[in-house]
Amino acid sequence: MTTPELGLPMAVPAEGLPTRVRIHEVGARDGLQNEKATVPTETKAEFIRRLAAAGLGTIEATSFVHPTWVPQLADAERLFPLVRELGAGEPGSPSGTAAPHLPVLVPNERGLDRALALGATRVAVFASATESFAKANLNRTVDEALAMFEPVVARARAQGVHVRGYLSMCFGDPWEGPVPVPRVVRVCRALLDMGCDELSLGDTIGVATPGHVSALLTALDEQRVPTSSLGVHFHDTYGQALSNTLTALRHGVTTVDASAGGLGGCPFAKSATGNLATEDLVWMLTGLGIDTGVDLGLLVATSEWMAGQLGRPSPSRTVRALSHKE
């Protein structure tokens, strides 16, 4: 047990938890994609630079989707070159943290072409566990979407590019309701079999509870899906994101998606509210004695700055508490 620094919780380690967690920061892509007002490209670039300076080792930069799908991300070709040097071997911050990874989302082979042309070394594809969301998001069935991703993953891997497979609606779907665990396991297995390096299990509308999370992770383990290849991506719609994350950590998961300031939603699922706030996650992990490499003070300052750019306060409870704001 250690004495807390000013503004940080007391570190009290608990048994059965990892000693380090990798935070996959999604604020610049998932966090901003649903903003109605266009965020200037330079503001996005500065956001990413500040996140890197705060010690985030993985920062999802943008998405190479067609502009008509997600207009907020139509500037991918302009944005990525502005931040590419952060992940090119230079220190990520003045304090000397390692250069961050800068993955980008690619929906198809055309998106992959655009990303590779700009030097991206990490990409992600975005699948669905349910037919309704596959139709809404990609205008395809689940299996048609998987078939579309196969050449994307194969080409990326052939060029030495790391591939993440996002799987949305792992716990509940706004059209279909609760999602059966075996259905999620099937699509996870398909993504790994086609060559994805890691998977992100998405609670897109935030309906998961710890028991459901445990059941899914247990089923994946029984089907020999390695826990080391899994990340979790929880939305905080019902205030369950941290409890669900803690459950995943107890199952051995060490990669957690989060969004600075709690920004985010999903343009294709209107009931999806904000992501788990990175600050709230770091506060909990710090209190458990788990290393993240993140400077919470710099991260809070970054989210305060971004909130100012968006013209509204951050929904993160930790940002509000440490900023002395209601």
Residue 139, SS3 per DSSP: coil
| CB of 20 closer than 8 Å to CB of 292 | yes
266 is catalytic: yes
Q: Which of 170, 188, 196, 266 is catalytic?
A: 266
| CB of 121 closer than 8 Å to CB of 161 | yes
Give the torsion through C-alpha atoms of 205, 211, 217, 219, to 10 deg.
-110
Cα distance from N-terminal residue to C-terminal residue, the chain: 30
Cβ neighbours for 122, distance < 8 A, ≥ 6 positions apart: 101, 102, 103, 104, 161, 162, 163, 164
Q: Are strands 22-25 and 58-59 parallel, antiparallel or unpaired?
A: parallel
- DSSP conformation letters of 164-221: EEEEE-SSEETTTEEPPHHHHHHHHHHHHHTT-SEEEEEETTS---HHHHHHHHHHHH
Which of the residues are catalytic? 266
